[in-house]
A and B are shown apart, each in its own frame.
Chain A
Amino acid sequence: MSPKLKLWYFNLPGRAEVTRLILNYGSVPFEDYTFTFEEWNDIKAKANLPFGQVPVMEVDGKMLAQSSAIERYAAKLAGLAPSDPWEAAKVDEVLGFVAEANDLFAATYGIKDADAKIKARQEVCAGPLKDKFAKVTQMIEAAGGEFLTGSKPTHPDFVLFKLTSGLVGGTMDGVPTDLLDAYPVIKAHHNRVAALPTVAKMYEKVTEGPYLAYKALP
C-alpha cells in the first residue's frame, strides 16, 4: 500500500511540478499542500524542514527534502524506475543531461537590470540552449521519436516537459513564447506529454497565465 504523501511547496510549478506530474501519471494519491510567499515565513518557522527549504515530501509523517530525491522517490512509487541497473543508469544519464538545461538559465535570475537580464537570456537561447536542444532532439529520435528513453514516458520526459513549458509560458523575459518553433521534435515532445491523459487532466481548467504553456502548444 502506498505511503501517505503530502507535498509541501509554493502555489507555482517551480521545483515541485515534475513530482506532481510523475505522481499523477502513476495514479499515486498525494496531498498537494501549496502556499503563498506571504505565508512562507510562518510555515518555515513552525515546520521542522530538514534544510529549511521546500519542496519537501512528507512520507507517513517523515520529511524528505531535495527536489531530485523527491522526484526519484515519486518515480519509484509511480512505477517509472527501471529495476535493471543498466537501464536505470541510462535513464539517469538522460535525466542528468536534460536537468543541466535548467542550470543554463540559473545565472540569469539574479541579474537586476532588466535589459541585461533579457540580453543574457537571449545569449543562452542562441548558444548553449541551442546546442542542448539539438542533442535532446537526437536523443528523442534515437529512442524512436516519441519519448526520451523509448516508447513510454519516464522521469526525464517530465523534466523536459516542465522545462519547455516554463520557458515559453511568458514569465521568462528574454525568452520568446515561440521558442520551440525552431525545435519541432522538442515541440512535438512537449505536446505529446501534454496530451497524456493524466497531464491533460492536471491543466484542463487552465484558461490563462503561465500554466497555459503546460497544455498543447499551437
Chain B
Amino acid sequence: MSPNLKLHYFDFPGRAEATRLMLNYGGIPFEDATFQREQWASLKPKMPFGQVPVLEVDGKMLAQTSAIERYAAKLAGLAPADPWEAAKVDEAAAYLTETAELFMPTFAIQDAEARAKARQELCAGPLKEKFARMAEMIEAAGGEFLGGPKPGYPDFALFSFVSWLVCGAVDGMPSGLLDAHPAIKAHHNRVAALPTVTKMYESVTEGPRLSYKPLP
C-alpha cells in the first residue's frame, strides 16, 4: 500500500511540478499542500532545510527536489530495476538538470536589459546545443520519448523545464523559441497529451500553467 503523501510547496509549478506530474501519471494519491508566498515565513521553520519542496511521507519529512523526484518516480513505477537502465535514466535526468541550471545565474542579474541579453545568448548558444542533443536522444529512442516508447522521469523533467521556460515567468526569453526546436516542441505536446497530464491542466485558462497544455 502506498504511503500517506503530502507535498509542501508554493502555489506554482517551480520545483514541485515534475513530482506532481509523476505521482499523477502513476496514479499515486497525494495531498498537494500548496501555500502562498505570504504564508512562507511561518512555514519555513518547520521544513528540514528551511526550504521547499518537502514531501511528507507517513509523517516523516523528505527534502531536496532530486530526492523527492526520484522517490516519486519509484512510487510511480518509473524507476527501472536494472542498474544499467536506471543509470541511463540518471544520465538523461542529469543532462536535464545541467540544462535547467544554465538559466540560474541569470536570475541574479538586476538590470532587465542585461538579463534579457544573457538569456538570449543562452538560447542562441548552449541551450540550442542541448536541445539538439535531446532531439537526437529522442530519435535514437524511437522518436517519442527520451528513453524509449513510454515516458520516464527525464520526460517529465524536460516537459516541466520547457513549459516553465516559455510560460512567461522568465522574462527576456526570445519569442518562438520552441519553433526553432520542433522535436522538443513535439515532445512537449506529446507529454501534454498524456491523459493524466491533460487532466492536471484541463481547468487552466490563463497564467503560467497555460504552457503546460499543448502549445500551438
Contacts and interface: CB of A to CB of B under 8 A. Distances in A.
Interface string A33-69: 0000000000000000011000000010010111111
Interface in A81-124: 85-86, 88-90, 92-93, 95-97, 107
B67 interface: yes
A68 B64 contact: no
Count class of interface residues, chain A: 20 to 34
A77 B93 CA distance: 20
A135 interface: yes
B210 interface: no
Interface string B70-94: 1100110000000110111011011
Contacts of B125: none
Contacts of A3: 84
B167 interface: no
Count class of interface residues, chain B: 20 to 34
B84 A59 contact: yes
B75 A96 contact: no
A90 B71 CA distance: 10
Q: Is the interface of B mostly helix, strand, loop or mixed?
A: helix
A27 to B, nearest CB: 17
Interface of B: 3, 49, 57, 60, 62-68, 70-71, 74-75, 83-84, 86-88, 90-91, 93-95, 98, 105, 133
8 contacts: A59-B84, A69-B90, A73-B86, A85-B74, A89-B57, A89-B70, A92-B71, A96-B64
Sorted nearest first, the 10 A-B pairs with minimum C-beta distance are A96-B64, A92-B67, A69-B90, A66-B94, A73-B87, A89-B71, A69-B91, A93-B67, A93-B64, A66-B91
Given A73-B83, A86-B71, 16 more contacts: A62-B84, A64-B84, A65-B91, A66-B90, A66-B91, A66-B98, A72-B86, A85-B71, A92-B67, A92-B71, A93-B63, A95-B64, A96-B64, A97-B49, A97-B64, A107-B105
